Structure 1
């Protein structure tokens, strides 16, 4: 954040600062400025998913429930006391952008509900349980790998979910020591066996054996 931006916000003399999915630290001078402090709208159920990419990690970890947390901003990253939470089921096979849209809408509703409580004086911040915290960093190349040693249902849901994000999603077929860039996950079965580790069904489409089941993918 530039000095000019800090000066502009300071000049507004805000009662409250609200940010959403803000991946940088706010300067200490800004945190001390508003009488009601600063609040972040974070797309996970903190302390689970602290960090800049909670939606990716929700899908990577196969979590069945996520949500939005409103929390006070302190000197840490997503570590401040919780003001409110709202939960959201994670539909199987949901695309990351669709999940993000649902979380955005949920966060907006939560914010509208909570904001009047600052004036009412009924805000009751609850410290986060640091022992239950998980992190959601920017994913590295290894985090985009889809190993065939895992269940087909997980592989399908993860690959289908994060494919629209455009990262280096890669199918790692351990039995053949080959890898394939994945453009999308098309179908899966959790039980039907496969003899061969990989079957080319047509150009650009393969079926791969998992444990258990198989996944049909569009690959490069």
Structure 2
């Protein structure tokens, strides 16, 4: 919630001159000392006290950067516990929002909240929906060896990531991009796309295209989802390890009935062929994949 996929789109909206009337975050992700009353009173919605602001809107990492950004612009911020509570709805109604913009918010918006803004609710999702619905779209993008991805702005409904598509922007992930770099790229593109969506919405010409049936949401990854496959190409394995390294899980692969654990991908050669399935060079492991060779530790 306080990562770049939340903060950077907010920064882009503010730089575009969008009138942001409030910022809402999950209360359990706000340091208690920033909540009114030091978080001792678990009300459905609690005002957040402004933290010390930063001077760089586009810094990549800060545990409270979204709140700092709101404080810089004198935007009221709230930590929410119960979205359907009357106190929550009354606080949000008092802001008189024309539209609610969402990015990486971990709770479903109930119908009464979806109907609160006069122009509806829009969500920024870092994939080309209906592909890679769910809470970890970038993980599954890398795990399935997909380099052509993008960002979707969609109208929100009562489920996660299933509402009508408004706008999409495709992009290509380069070999070796890290999760942090990919999030930064998608967040900037997504922020620009949200600005475009709001401008179209104001002019009453924002599209609504229903998503096709037959697509399910992907879950959060389990340990087993970090397993490498000998039938993968070296490029796919390399990009998967580089793009999901932030999860801090070991990558396992079985070669000749031996389980090998890897931590970091170093390089790959797309066409190289080894004389044996596996070799070592110091602490580096060199693995024959199909096609190509992966270098990792």
TM-score normalised according to structure 2 size: 0.67
2:223 maps to 1:144: no
Deviations for 1:72-121, whole angstroms, at most 9, x for unmatched residues?
11011100011111111121221111111111000111111121222221
2:251 maps to 1:170: yes
User: Contact (CA 8 Å) 1:146, 1:159: kept in 2 or not?
Assistant: no
User: What secondary structure does 2:133 align onto?
Assistant: coil
The corresponding residue for 1:101 is 184
| Aligned partner (choices 112, 123, 128) of residue 195 of structure 2 | 112
Query: How many positions carry a matched residue from both structures?
Result: 214
2:277 maps to 1:197: yes
The corresponding residue for 2:77 is none
User: Contact (CA 8 Å) 1:144, 1:167: kept in 2 or not?
Assistant: no
Runs of 4+ aligned residues of structure 1 deviating over 6 Å after TM superposition are: none
The corresponding residue for 2:159 is 76
Deviation at 1:48, TM superposition (A): 0.9
Distance (whole Å) between structure 2 residues aligned to residue 196 and residue 5 of structure 1: 63
User: What secondary structure does 1:160 align onto?
Assistant: helix
Distance (whole Å) between structure 1 residues aligned to residue 203 and residue 232 of structure 2: 51
User: Contact (CA 8 Å) 1:44, 1:66: kept in 2 or not?
Assistant: yes
RMSD: 1.7
TM-score normalised according to structure 1 size: 0.89
The corresponding residue for 2:238 is 156
Deviation at 1:34, TM superposition (A): 0.8
Deviations for 1:24-51, whole angstroms, at most 9, x for unmatched residues?
2012211111111111011111111111
2:171 maps to 1:88: yes
Q: 5 Å matches for 1:121-140?
A: 121-131=204-214, 133=215, 135-140=217-222
User: Contact (CA 8 Å) 2:230, 2:290: kept in 1 or not?
Assistant: yes
Distance (whole Å) between structure 1 residues aligned to residue 267 and residue 116 of structure 2: 52
Deviation at 1:59, TM superposition (A): 0.9
C-alpha spacing 1:7/1:195, structure 2 compared with 1 (3 Å): farther
Distance (whole Å) between structure 2 residues aligned to residue 139 and residue 104 of structure 1: 21
User: Contact (CA 8 Å) 1:60, 1:158: kept in 2 or not?
Assistant: yes
C-alpha spacing 1:134/1:195, structure 2 compared with 1 (3 Å): farther
